[in-house]
Amino acid sequence: MRYESITEAIGNTPLVRIDPAVHGLRHIDLYAKLELLNPFGSVKDRAAWNMARPGLAAAAEHGSQVVELSSGNTAKALAVIAGMHGLPFKSVTNRMRIPEIKDLLLLLGADIEELPGQSECLDPTNTEDPLTLFHRELSEPGSSYLHTDQYFNPRNTEAHATGTGPEIVKDLDGRAPDWFVACVGTAGSSTGVARVLREHDPRVRVVGLVAAKSDFIPGIRTLDEVHEVGLFDPATYDTVESVGSDEAIEGMLTLARRCGILAGPTGGAAYYGTVRHLRSIDEELTYSQSVESDGETGDAGPRRSAVFIVCDRIESYLSYTKRRRPDLFRQPPRRNDPADLTDAEVAAAPAVDVPDARKWIERDRPLVVDLRSPFAYAALHIEGAINIVDQLFDELVRGGLPFSTRQPVLLVCPVGEQSARYAALLTRMGHPEVRSLSGGVIAWRDAGAPLVRD
């Protein structure tokens, strides 16, 4: 294979059969579409190239900056593509949560602009999401940026309708699989592939996978967030199911250790979600075929097939994995993890509403801990509050109680959800007087209580 440019190596990724001894399904052949083997490392290489390509010549002429709202694989691919065309690239995001990817983007020469998301309420008196405002500015006519706009750009979906989907059909000898399973981020890959597969066979069942509520699997949305994505159409999926981060890591380990596929967490989630979805279907097939073979026909029936997408590679997620599974790195097991709380514990977390919180602050001077991002805190916060961003707070509690038990503590976050989890956790750890501010900074603002700016 000889290419004139690395971009020609995007696509045509292998479809690899997973050993049935690993997945245990008796009647279904399971195939992994290895998007991790794209040249910049992920499924997003296709979308990035397809979205950027038409604008590159004009951007080079005007010296425009390439911009995308991405903190992951799209940004990585665009940083490379922009660099190859002599253009600067800026990644705009509300928080870079994967340090390896942030470092890689910097290494590739990207500019990173971190804006708070709406839920972090940069300015609680302004209900507009800073990212939405930025998105609007980028999309205005006459914008000097080359904005690839992955959440709304039909060329994102098209990259998969012309590439990924047809490749799967070709590798299955002109047939669509019986099931297609994909994680949903922008929804571009699942939508584009599903469209092509259904054209070949309308009976294909499409399963979309998202992260479980209040969980985090880098690159994909949670059940709550998925409806906010411009390209997401519920009609694309026969079902949308959620996978937890622990399950994603389990899947990732199986793919890496037993199949030789060095997938990242969404590849693991896709494998785990596919096998989980198909297990009972496979059992039904076993049952119906045993009934048939006892009877007249003895027909074992045709084998079924399923395809899932492996979006990217494992290497960027070592710290993500270590945080959740220190045992895999020969470190002591995680302690004091809010993910281990039961729903009942969170529901019973000590909380205080705004009027009572104001009286409590006046009377007992609790330590007010604001868990939002430094941007949001700097814009407006409760007077006297200290800022410990949630990620850092998470680290602190792993080491034990971060405050004296004699110090009353009021935890504050955007809407009172995260603070409730930490209040439940600190209570479980033995703190006698910790409370969560019900409704968070939003409720404080709505009650007209004072906020200060640094």
Ligand X SMILES: Cc1ncc(COP(=O)(O)O)c(C=O)c1O
- Interface residues with ligand X (CB under 6 A) are 42-44, 72-74, 183-190, 219-220, 264, 266, 311-312
Minimum Å distance from CB 117 to ligand X?
Answer: 16
* Pairwise CA distance, residues 378 & 310, whole Å: 40
Minimum Å distance from CB 314 to ligand X?
Answer: 11
Minimum Å distance from CB 104 to ligand X?
Answer: 13
* Pairwise CA distance, residues 160 & 196, whole Å: 9
Nearer CB in complex with ligand X: 25/168: 168
What one-character-per-residue DSSP string does 165-180 give?
Answer: HHHHHHHTTT---SEE
Question: 113 and 91 in contact (C-beta within 8 Å)?
Answer: yes
Nearer CB in complex with ligand X: 189/419: 189
Instruction: Give the residue closest to ligand X by C-beta.
Output: 219
Nearer CB in complex with ligand X: 186/274: 186
The pair of three-digit structure tokens given for residue 159, joined into one six-digit string: 């990259």
Nearer CB in complex with ligand X: 35/120: 35
Nearer CB in complex with ligand X: 164/418: 164
Minimum Å distance from CB 192 to ligand X?
Answer: 8
Minimum Å distance from CB 260 to ligand X?
Answer: 19
Instruction: Please state, in angstroms and as integers, the Cα–Cα distance from residue 270 to each residue in 29, 129, 224, 340, following that order.
Output: 15, 31, 19, 23
Minimum Å distance from CB 188 to ligand X?
Answer: 4
Nearer CB in complex with ligand X: 44/372: 44
Tokens 């425009």 -> residue: 64
Question: 211 and 245 in contact (C-beta within 8 Å)?
Answer: yes
Tokens 């945080």 -> residue: 323
H helices present in 163-307, as ranges? 165-171, 188-200, 245-259, 265-294
In the beta sheet, which residues pair with residue 452? Answer: 381
Nearer CB in complex with ligand X: 207/409: 207
Give the β-pairing of 89-93 and 65-69.
parallel
Minimum Å distance from CB 317 to ligand X?
Answer: 9
Instruction: Please state, in angstroms and as integers, the Cα–Cα distance from residue 84 to each residue in 37, 268, 366, following that order.
Output: 20, 31, 54
The pair of three-digit structure tokens given for residue 305, joined into one six-digit string: 């097939």
